[in-house]
């Protein structure tokens, strides 16, 4: 059988094969690779807000409800001109719920990397987003990501519940030991008891408040 990203005249590209035209792959699941880079964003903006934003000095992130950005998978070419205006993009944060079938979790890691690689092939700086579920996904969550570069993670909803925090801590330990990143972008809270060890190793930690955190701070400030 010919490769999925091979040319088939007259066939509709229902597999989004164009995303993989220049891709290389990693791991037995053949996850597309995002090329190495060290970046230190100063500002982040969500994908849903970047559509109408005129402040292009930000990096675009996808730490929001999947429904807000599924459209970039359905029609990535539509949003390419918009994303090119910004400093760079953190690859899409497709959800990995632990009660999802494992193949769906792998599929969302694949989609994360496929979009990221395609954006990179089109001249956009890309930081790979790392998202994992339980320990079955830790290894796959590192596929397609270069060592000693910059990675990004979202911690919203992962620290208040004891079990969720345990998975965050355990998964991060695997990821950081495997990828040895120089810079970690954190969208959401960065608990000191989890991240102090990585700071002590010399890893640069850049924490950005989530939109929910920002809104809560405004409310709290207004109540004084």
Summarize pLDDT for 140-160 with one digit per residue, the tens. Answer: 999 999 999 999 999 987 888
Q: What is the pLDDT of residue 2?
A: 36
Q: Which CATH architecture has domain 24-222?
A: Alpha-Beta Barrel (3.20)
Above 70 in pLDDT, residue 222? no
What is the pLDDT confidence band of residue 192, given thresholds at 50, 70 and 90?
A: very high
Domain boundaries, the chain: 24-222
Percentage of the chain beyond pLDDT 90 is 83
Above 60 in pLDDT, residue 5? no
CA-only gyration radius of the chain, Å: 18
Rounded Cα–Cα distance for residues 216 and 87 (Å): 27
Q: What is the pLDDT of residue 93?
A: 98
Task: Supply the pTM of this predicted model.
Answer: 0.92
- Write the pLDDT tens digit of every residue in 23-39: 999 999 999 999 999 99
- Are 23 and 32 within 8 A, CB to CB? yes
Rounded Cα–Cα distance for residues 75 and 73 (Å): 6
81-98 mean pLDDT: 97
Burial 33-42 (b: 16+ CB within 10 A, else e): bbeeeebebe
Dihedral of CA atoms 26, 117, 57, 93 in degrees, nearest 10, equals -70
166-184 mean pLDDT: 97
What is the pLDDT confidence band of residue 3, given thresholds at 50, 70 and 90?
A: very low
Rounded Cα–Cα distance for residues 183 and 206 (Å): 7
């Amino acid at each position: 059988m010919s490769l999925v990203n091979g040319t088939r005249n007259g066939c509709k590209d229902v597999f989004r094969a164009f995303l993989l035209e220049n891709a290389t792959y990693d791991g037995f699941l053949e996850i597309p690779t995002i090329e190495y880079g060290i970046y230190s964003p100063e500002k982040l903006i969500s994908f849903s807000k970047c559509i109408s934003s005129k402040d292009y000095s930000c990096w675009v992130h996808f730490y929001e409800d999947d429904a807000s950005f599924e459209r970039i998978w359905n029609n990535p070419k539509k949003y390419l001109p918009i994303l090119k205006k910004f400093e760079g993009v953190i690859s899409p944060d497709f959800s990995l719920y632990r009660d999802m079938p494992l193949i769906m979790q792998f599929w969302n890691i694949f989609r994360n990397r496929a979009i990221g690689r395609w954006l990179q092939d089109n001249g956009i700086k890309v930081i790979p987003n790392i998202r994992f579920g339980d320990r079955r996904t830790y290894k796959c969550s590192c596929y397609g990501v270069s060592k000693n570069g910059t990675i990004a993670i979202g911690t919203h909803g992962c620290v208040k519940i004891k079990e969720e925090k345990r998975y965050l801590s355990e998964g991060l330990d695997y990821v950081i030991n495997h990828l040895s990143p120089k810079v970690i972008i954190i969208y959401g809270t960065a608990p000191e008891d989890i991240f102090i060890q990585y700071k002590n190793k010399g890893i640069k930690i850049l924490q950005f408040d989530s939109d929910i955190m920002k809104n809560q701070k405004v409310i709290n400030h207004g109540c004084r």
